[in-house]
Structure 1
Amino acid sequence: MLRITLPLPRQVTPAPTISRVAIIGGGFTGATLARLLALHGQYWPHEIVVFEPRAHLGGGLAYDTDDPSLRLNVAAHRMRAVPGDPQAFLRWLSDSGRLGQDPGAVAKGAIYARRGDFAAFMAGQVQPFIDNGTVRHLRERAERIHRRHGRWQIEGDVGAMVQADAVVVATGHPPPTPPAELASHLNGDPRFLLNPSQPDALQAIRANDKVVVVGAGLTALDVVAALRNGGHRAEITLLSRTGQLPQPQAAGDFAPHGDFLIGVPNTALSLLKQVRFALEEVTEAGLPWQSVFDALRHQGQAIWRALPFLEQQRVLRHLRRRFEAHRFRMPPQIAELVERERAAGRLRSCAGRVAAVRSGRAEIAIDIATKPYGTVERHAGQWVIVVTGPDHGNVIDSQGCFAELEGLGFLTKDPHGLGIACDPDSRALARDGHPVEHLFVAGPLARGAFGELTGVPEIAAQAERIVQQILGMSSATTRTITIRSM
């Protein structure tokens, strides 16, 4: 028997199969996706639906703040947020008057804008499409996602129900999970703060309360800046496994240095050797070491894809923390604050692991087995704030709609523990390892497949690729003719 499949003729111009797209999350990633889809003009009103409980799209957890002390850790001219218009944000800062209202923005010869300004910029990018009805912003959190009659059905926590042909998961970073020793002793204690990014989360901390911050990355420094901006004066202690703080940005404008795609490293060790060699080169040339890490960032996705799975694991195990301390750098304003607070003895850091926790009425005491000597130091404060970084390994368990998709076999955890498993086309991988059509993973949750997918330019580029895939899906149907051999 011979079976031939032929396209079914049509009398009208084919329209996209994807007649409605639901985007889960309306931060930078979700807003960028919605805007790019709307720009193509192929969708009727309300056919691009964004589930986002915040009042505006574009800010999300990273940028939705009114605190003027919280700044972008990248200079404004490097915030290539709009594909095809790399200077859009810098131009908007000037044209909107926001730059003139921010006298502290310029540092080391560059503009480090307030995060709230970037959120306002992104909201302005997508608002015209909300106003004309092309994009529908549902101020709800997606609670359930499942298949119904061949389409995706999404249910919100306030009662919305939307059927869509494609779903893009764009929720960004999940919350941190505290060290088990802390959680077992302090869960339920109002002095134990697990989400300092929530509005007014730090408001109850008094000016003379000592604070212990568990974590030492950029979010920990955000806590320091926000506390000091609010009038806090007491000692702050940063606890982390390595004690490494983010490195500062360099002055001046410089090009990335290092071509890691010539003889692409295929082991963690060979990658480390290439980085060290590039660092020696820039040192001899009098260039900043930051130029090497900028090159690593730009070439990061190609480097990651070239590494076998076990070597990717070695990179994460042995090199990740050192890379992140140099990749995610603090803006000059925060670097000055850290230096000033350390010199005054109001900011300390300690490397080690939590050995014991004692919760008393007046304060919480934490014993740290320090590195490298193993001696025990006691640190105490009236408040303990957890900023250990997003728990990407448990992102599916952290949201009911993702857990449901996993239960149905449509989602799986990334084997590196970096988020949700997807293929190079950003399609979610099912339980059987095959890509799920019309279910995409965008932004940081797709890092397991791409390696470098945290910065604004990289996310914008991935969003553009996803949009092109969605737009390229035609509605050409097929019919099957069966020819029986005589």
Structure 2
Amino acid sequence: MLEHRALWREQDLRGHFAPPFGRCQVAIIGGGFTGASLARSLATRLGRDGAVAVFEPRAALGQGLAYDCHDDALRLNVASHRMKALPEAPDAFHQWLVQTGKLESDPEGVAADGAFYARRSDFGLFMAEQMQPLLQAGLVRHLREKVAHLTRSGQGWLITGDQGSTLYAEEVVIATTHLTARPPQALAGALEGHPRFLAETGQWNALDTCQPDDKVLIVGAGLTALDLVASLRSKGHKGEILMLSRSGRLPQTQSLGGLPPAGNFISPPPASARQLLQTVRAAVQDAADRGLPWQSVFDTLRQQGQALWQNLSDQEQQRFMRHLKRRYETHRYRMPPQIASLLAHDMREGTLKNIAGQICRVERTPQAIHLDIILKPHGMVERHSCQWVAVATGPDYARLIQSQDYLRDLADARLIRPDIHGLGLDVDENCRALRRNGLALGNLFVAGPLTRGRFGELTGAPEIAAQAERLALQMLERLQRGVEASFDI
């Protein structure tokens, strides 16, 4: 390993390391909320200059795709006092909103019960501020690049960025999250290259040229689709919006008022998906008898979700994915009151429609897109003509490995494998990546939503922050046992 004991090189103005390469103890791939939370937990404990490096092409750490936005119409779907981003200070984000004046200057964020639903961009600013002292002190290095290649080198890893940086790391954590969506095949085949077919969120800025009366078809009916509706309306769009999904189910609305959780699902835990459904229904009825809404039950499900998921067998987990996943998601990932109010208004006015069905035929012209849709449940075919079609079906995790070159490198070398549910990468109970043969790699970890196949409930900020804290402590113990002794700076 002597050939890898190079010191950190001087950085150029873009934050890149000059050749031949730099060195760190831990390299984190992805600097969104997951990667930044882990970097923060590690760096504050290691306290060593340059020990943690983060590959993230965005200008700030802690934002990622979810919070790196400049559209004030996009809000968090949980109240600010429940956005527990820092495990050691659960109310830090809400206090930051008060101290910076963000809360007072955003009256539209206040719901009827007084709870505050902050702009997503404000949460991104909050996270960036948490990382800034660590960056200024040199405890975290930010390389504004995507990772192009990741290969084994001695006992560690050699990482190559797409802008030319090369870095040797003792340990690596894959913390990327958001992927592009997969358009329905009928759309992808017929509309490829059409300027008004927006197949991923990165293209949505094209809607800035959308005329106020243009009709827009949104493929998808989850929170991503609702974000697009809110964004369009905030920019003055008045025309018809049609949301299309296979189930037609929309996210439910957050409850008003500070309600306690209800129910208990782990004493004993259900052993099957059917038993879980029966237990939830009974808990909802019991909560209603006590004057509590179903949201109280799902708040308990969220808290106990990881234990519930891990108690189910692989077969029962797959049964849940087939039959209950969408029902769970519409109740778990709820819309903020502001979006609920907007949807209710537009549906009353007839300018927003939500349908369940499947596209069976597409015709394209320069100014319009014509679609035949088989409607559920009766199979009638309805024709719609739209000026724009946007895909908002959420990340396509099934194509995760094929989406990035470095993941393909690892898969080709049999060093990683997808989880059996197509939710991300397969890991063990300690977040170590599992090789093709099922054995764990000692110094390659995966963090955040990409580990949902193993752990279950792992999408919200509190759950991700808690996992990052646990993983950081685990990695610190490893480093203190031996890796740290070999680290020169």
**Which TM-score bucket, shorter chain as reference?**
over 0.9
Question: Which structure carries more relative contact order (alpha carbon 8 Å, separation 6+)?
Answer: 1
Equivalence map 1:12-91=2 (5 Å): 20-40=25-45, 42-91=46-95
Is residue 418–residue 448 contact of structure 1 (8 Å, CA) maintained in 2? Answer: yes
Deviations 1:102-132 (A, max 9, x none): 1111103211000001000000111100011
CA-CA distance at 1:442 after TM superposition: 0.7
Unpaired segments ≥5 residues, structure 1: 1-17, 479-486
Which residue among 466, 469, 473 is the counterpart of 1:468?
A: 473
Q: Which residue of 1 aligns with 2:413?
A: 408
Equivalence map 1:77-476=2 (5 Å) = 77-109=81-113, 110-197=115-202, 200-474=205-479
The answer to whether the 8 Å contact 2:265/2:304 transfers is yes
Work out the CA distance in 1 between the residues paired with 2:232 and 2:263: 39
C-alpha change, 1:284 and 1:37, in structure 2 (3 Å) is same
Deviations 1:305-356 (A, max 9, x none): 1101100001010000011001000000000000111111110011011111
What is the CA deviation profile of residues 9-40 of structure 1, one whole-angstrom value per residue up to 9, with x for unaligned ones? xxxxxxxxx95111111110111011111111
Which deviates the most, 299-308 or 369-378? Answer: 369-378
Q: CA deviation at 1:200?
A: 2.6
Structure 1 length as normaliser, TM-score?
A: 0.93
4+ residue runs of structure 1 moved beyond 6 angstroms?
none
- Contact 2:24 / 2:168 at 8 angstroms: preserved in 1? no
- Asked if the contact 2:198/2:204 (under 8 Å) is kept, the reply is no
Alignment check: 8 A CA contact 2:156 2:443 kept: no
How far apart are the structure 2 equivalents of 1:428 and 1:190?
A: 40
TM-score (structure 2 length as normaliser): 0.92
Deviations 1:116-171 (A, max 9, x none): 01000000111100011111111111111111222211111111111101111111
Corresponding residue SS for 1:396: helix
CA contact (8 A) 1:69 1:229 kept: yes
Structure having the higher Rg = 1
Cα distance, 1:380 vs structure 2: 2.0
Provide the rounded CA distance (Å) in 1 between the counterparts of 2:204 and 2:50.
30
Take 2:266 and 2:462, find their aligned partners in 1: how far apart are those partners?
A: 20
Distance 1:266 1:159 in 2: 50
Match of 1:12 in 2: none
Q: 1: CA distance between counterparts of 2:479 and 2:127? A: 30
Q: Return the alpha-carbon distance in structure 2 between the equivalents of residues 84 and 119 of structure 1.
A: 19
RMSD: 1.4
What's the secondary structure of 1:202's corresponding residue? helix
In structure 2, the gaps of 5 or more residues are: 1-22, 484-489
**2:103, 2:482 → 1: CA distance?**
53
Q: What is the CA-CA distance between 1:414 and the residue it aligns to?
A: 1.0
